[in-house]
Amino acid sequence: MPYSDGQALKLGGLVNLSGASGIIVAVVDTKEFSESFPEARWSYLERGFLAEFGKFGLIHFDHVDPDLELVRRADPAK
């Protein structure tokens, strides 16, 4: 699942939605799940991704919202 600019959505990416910062904590489509959001608990969603925002909490997206912007990719060394 790509961002609106075509870049692939990856676990750990920092994003912005309506001025709120968040982090991608699970990408269901590629079966990437953070330790805090394990596959066993979230794979029932079947598609999309989860992003956790300080302002909004946890949001499941089944498509990329056009207002969701990539701020920074996750550090691949981590």
> Residue 76 — pLDDT band, cuts 50, 70, 90?
low
Q: 40 with 31: CB under 8 angstroms?
A: no
φ, ψ at 39 (rounded to 5°): -55, -40
Q: 29 with 47: CB under 8 angstroms?
A: yes
Question: How many Å apart are CA 77 and CA 36, to the nearest integer?
Answer: 19
Question: 15-55, pLDDT tens digit by residue?
Answer: 999 999 999 999 999 999 999 999 999 989 999 999 999 99
In the structure encoding, which two tokens stand for residue 48, read together? 């999309």
Can you say whether residue 74 is alpha, beta or left, with left for phi > 0 and alpha for psi between -120 and 50 degrees?
beta
Residue 4 scores a pLDDT above 80: no
> Residue 77 — pLDDT band, cuts 50, 70, 90?
low
